[in-house]
C-alpha cells in the first residue's frame, strides 16, 4: 500500500497565509473575494488538523474574523429606522466589512517587503570580509607617535584661539611702501649699462640683475628687458646646463644700443 504524504508550507502568521492565498489567486488586495479566501483558509486549517499539527490561537482568531466578514457580506443590510423623533439611523452604504482586514494586509505586506530587503542586504554583507583596525604605532617613527593635542579639552583650544586673536589685535600694522614702477625701456638702459661696464665679451648672470629687486613686477620687467635686448641682438643668452642660471654676454656692436625712444613704449 502506497503511503501518501502531504507537506504544507509554513507561514509566519495568519496574515502571511492570507497574503499567500491572495498572491496565489493573482487578485488585487483591494478586491479580496472573502468567500473564496475564507474557504481556502479553512481548508488549510483542516489540512493542519489532519496532519495533527498544532494550530495557534492567532490562526483561529483570523478564521473567526473571516467567517464574521463573510456572514456580514451575505446578510442583507438592516432597514432604515425613522420612527424616533429627531433621530434617524441608517447603515452606511459605503461601509465595507473587509476594510479593516485590507488595511492590516496592506500594512503587513509593507513590513514584509522591508524585511525581505533587509534580509537581502544581510546576505550581501555576508559576502564582504572586513579586517579589524590594527595598532600601527609599533611600526611608526617615535616622533610620529606623539599626539600634539593629547590631553587637551575643547576649553583649552578655545582659550588658545582667543589668545591668538588678542595678539593679532595688538600687533602693529606694518606700512608697506610701494616702489615706483619701472618701465621696460628704463630697465634696458640699466642692463646695457651693467654689461658695458664689463667691456666687450663681458658676462653677467641674470640672477645678479635681481639682487635688489623684491617685487614681482620688477622681476617681470627685467626679464622682458633681457628678451628685448636678445631680439635687438645686443646680447647673447645661454645656460651652461639645464635649469642653471642664465648667462648674458654683451656683443657691443652698436653705440645707440639698437633702439629708439619710440620703439619700446612700455
Return the pLDDT at 96. 72
**CA atoms lying within 13 Å on the CB side of residue 80:** 6
Structure confidence by residue, pLDDT tens digits, 56-107: 667 777 777 777 777 777 766 665 555 544 444 445 556 677 788 788 888 8
- Distances from the Cα of 26 to the Cα of 23, 114, 204, angstroms: 5, 21, 96
Its pTM stands at 0.34
Task: Give the residue ranges of DSSP H helices in 127-204.
Answer: 142-145, 154-170, 184-196
Tens digits of residue pLDDT in 172-216: 666 666 666 778 888 888 888 888 887 777 788 888 888 776 678
* From the candidate CATH numbers 3.90.550.10, 1.10.246.90, 3.40.630.30, 1.10.10.580, the one assigned to the domain spanning 184-250: 1.10.10.580
Q: In which band, very low, low, confident or very high, does the pLDDT at 52 lie, cut at 50, 70 and 90?
A: low
Distance of CA 134 to the CA centre of its chain: 27
Task: Determine the pLDDT at residue 5.
Answer: 36
Beta bridge partners of residue 236, listed in sequence order: 249
Domain boundaries, the chain: 14-123, 184-250
Match 476594510 to its residue by C-alpha cell: 99
Amino acid at each position: 500500500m502506497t503511503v501518501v504524504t502531504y507537506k504544507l508550507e509554513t507561514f509566519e502568521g495568519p496574515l502571511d497565509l492570507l497574503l499567500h492565498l491572495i498572491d496565489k489567486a493573482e487578485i488585487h488586495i483591494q478586491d479580496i473575494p472573502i468567500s473564496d479566501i475564507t474557504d481556502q483558509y479553512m481548508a488549510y486549517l483542516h489540512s493542519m488538523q489532519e496532519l495533527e499539527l498544532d494550530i495557534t490561537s492567532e490562526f483561529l482568531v483570523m478564521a473567526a474574523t473571516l467567517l464574521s466578514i463573510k456572514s456580514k457580506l451575505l446578510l442583507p443590510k438592516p432597514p432604515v429606522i425613522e420612527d424616533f423623533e429627531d433621530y434617524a439611523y441608517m447603515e452606511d452604504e459605503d461601509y465595507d466589512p473587509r476594510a479593516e482586514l485590507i488595511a492590516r494586509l496592506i500594512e503587513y505586506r509593507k513590513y514584509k517587503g522591508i524585511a525581505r530587503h533587509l534580509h537581502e542586504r544581510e546576505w550581501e554583507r555576508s559576502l564582504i570580509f572586513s579586517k579589524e583596525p590594527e595598532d600601527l604605532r609599533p611600526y611608526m617613527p617615535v616622533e610620529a607617535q606623539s599626539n600634539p593635542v593629547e590631553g587637551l579639552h575643547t576649553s583649552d583650544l578655545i582659550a588658545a584661539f582667543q589668545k591668538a586673536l588678542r595678539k593679532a589685535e595688538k600687533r602693529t600694522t606694518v606700512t608697506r611702501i610701494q616702489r615706483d614702477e619701472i618701465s621696460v625701456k628704463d630697465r634696458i638702459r640699466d642692463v646695457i649699462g651693467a654689461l658695458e661696464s664689463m667691456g666687450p665679451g663681458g658676462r653677467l648672470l641674470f640672477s645678479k640683475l635681481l639682487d635688489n629687486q623684491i617685487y614681482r613686477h620688477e622681476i617681470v620687467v627685467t626679464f622682458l628687458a633681457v628678451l628685448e635686448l636678445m631680439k635687438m641682438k645686443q646680447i647673447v643668452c645661454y645656460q651652461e646646463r639645464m635649469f642653471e642660471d642664465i648667462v648674458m654676454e654683451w656683443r657691443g656692436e652698436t653705440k645707440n644700443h639698437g633702439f629708439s625712444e619710440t620703439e619700446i613704449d612700455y
